[in-house]
Amino acid sequence: MGEVVLPGTAIGLKTSEGVVLASEKRLTYDGFVLSRNARKIHMITNHIGVGFAGLMGDVNFLVKVLRLEAKNYELQHGREIKTRNLAKLLSVILYSYKLAPMLTEVVVGGYDEEGPSLYILDPVGSVIEEKYVAVGSGAQLALGYIEPRYNPGLGLKEAEELAVNAVKTVIERDVLSGDGIDLVVIDENGYHSKEIIFKMTG
């Protein structure tokens, strides 16, 4: 089976203060642009977000399931699920579809009593903890930009800037990515999000 390139790009960066998730906003299918305002980063709890590349039907299904499971956990245990536990739960869900895998790669980032953490998952549920990650058609471009500039001592503001510039670099070179940036910053107090719209010149 040949490697499937999942359209779109999402990235995550971990710092000592929290986690930054970023994605571009273009939705494509079979070479056509279907939307210029697709949401690829979703908050599951107030302290855990997920970023996706891939097919939006699969993404929306997974978001619904994760929110339901996270709410269930909170009702049963009286506290929010930990980032690591949510990543493991998502791994089990993805693996259960291994015979007909979901066409999506996922970044999971969050902050809990153990501090910030960041995970990457492939379509069949392999889960790896990382300091910085990128998924989708622009992943190599994003990692090429982030790798020489990242260090674990970055502040959240610097990580935010690095994430935005990495996604901009991808948008300039990857036709499956484009049309602005969604950004989510998660720390011990919760999360805040922003949207950055810019037009390519030339």
Catalytically active residues, by annotation: 9
Main-chain dihedrals φ then ψ at residue 68, nearest 5 degrees: -65, -50
DSSP of 60-78: HHHHHHHHHHHHHHHHHHS
Angstrom distance (rounded) from CA 20 to CA 59:
19
Main-chain dihedrals φ then ψ at residue 139, nearest 5 degrees: -60, -45
- Cβ neighbourhood burial of 77 (10 Å; 0-12, 13-18, 19+): exposed
The answer to whether the Cα torsion of 63, 65, 83, 99 is positive or negative is: negative
Angstrom distance (rounded) from CA 96 to CA 27:
26
Extended beta strands in 85-139, E state: 104-112, 115-121, 127-129, 132-136
